[in-house]
Amino acid sequence: MAFLIERLGLFPAYFTAAAFVFLRYLLLAGFFFFIFYNWKKQVFAKVKIQNRSPRRERVMEEVRDSFLTAFVFASVGLGIYYLRQAGLTRIYLEPGAYGWWYLPVSFFLLTFLHDTYFYWMHRLMHNPRLFRLLHREHHRSDNPTPWTSLAFHPLESLVEIGIVPLAVVVLPFHPLVLLAFFFWAMFWNVIGHLGYEIFPGWFVRHPVFRWLNTATHHNMHHSRSGCNYGLYYNFWDTWMGTNHADYLSTFDEIKSR
Ligand SMILES: [Zn+2]
Ligand SMILES: [Zn+2]
């Protein structure tokens, strides 16, 4: 953001950042949607999680919601710029300042922090009052597709991105790590909402990979209630006993077709 503001000025930088978020969404969600819902639809038909097609009207609403999300995310980017101007963030520019090893470590740390934040904030948003106010819009998609990945009520978008200003105030992060994190978060979000189970059949019982969530996991969160709250990892759902009782059998059923 600082890079854009210094070169373009405040308002052009803000709109460029929003356009960047929205374009990244259009390209990534569009790419996966085209492959799975058009071009290679027949190839992947067997691993489609729900046996119905997404409604066109809902997809249009999801793209509209995501357009608004882009402006919320850009606003928070602007907020971080001002936090940094005030000397309140620990963002650093010299990549070796904390040791080169710290770059990948801080990336994984940020994904774990985000996952923890997401899990608890997500559970909180399923409280009936908060759900109506913040989270219902996202759950109007009971058969999610890649287009669902940023389809939030603007207030939920603000809550979703809230981890980033918190993290950069508390811990040192290099801008490249933050950039990589934003791409990874978007990519994982698209995979979670894909609507097709693309991971291999052994995945959910592998000693390492079982700790990663799957498209089936988040799809069940959308189609049932009170289960599967995690984002990237399965740690919190396992520790708190919130994986759906049929998660593994549903995954097995899809992969055995
Ligand atoms: Zn939810
Ligand atoms: Zn979702």
Among 92, 77, 90, CA closest to 182:
77
Quote the ligand 2 centre to 216 CA distance (angstroms): 11
Quote the ligand 2 centre to 109 CA distance (angstroms): 22
Quote the ligand 2 centre to 222 CA distance (angstroms): 6
Q: Nearest ligand, CA of residue 145?
A: 2
Q: Nearest ligand, CA of residue 215?
A: 2
Q: What 3-state DSSP class applies to 40? A: coil
Quote the ligand 2 centre to 122 CA distance (angstroms): 10
pTM of the entire structure?
A: 0.95
Quote the ligand 2 centre to 148 CA distance (angstroms): 7
- 228 found inside a domain: no
pLDDT tens-digit map of 76-89: 999 999 999 999 99
- 237 found inside a domain: no
- 201 found inside a domain: no
151, 137 in Cβ contact below 8 A? yes
- 188 found inside a domain: yes
Q: Which residue has the tokens 């907020």?
A: 79
* Cα angle, residue 240 at apex, residues 239 and 241 outer, rounded to 5°: 95
- 114 found inside a domain: yes
Q: Nearest ligand, CA of residue 224?
A: 1
Quote the ligand 2 centre to 123 CA distance (angstroms): 13
- 247 found inside a domain: no
- 112 found inside a domain: yes
pLDDT tens-digit map of 120-167: 999 999 999 999 999 999 999 999 999 999 999 999 999 999 999 999
What one-letter code names the amino acid at 93? Answer: L
Query: Domain range for residue 174?
Result: 2-195
Count: domains in the chain? 1
Under the banding of pLDDT at 50, 70 and 90, the label for residue 2 is confident
- 219 found inside a domain: no
Quote the ligand 1 centre to 157 CA distance (angstroms): 13
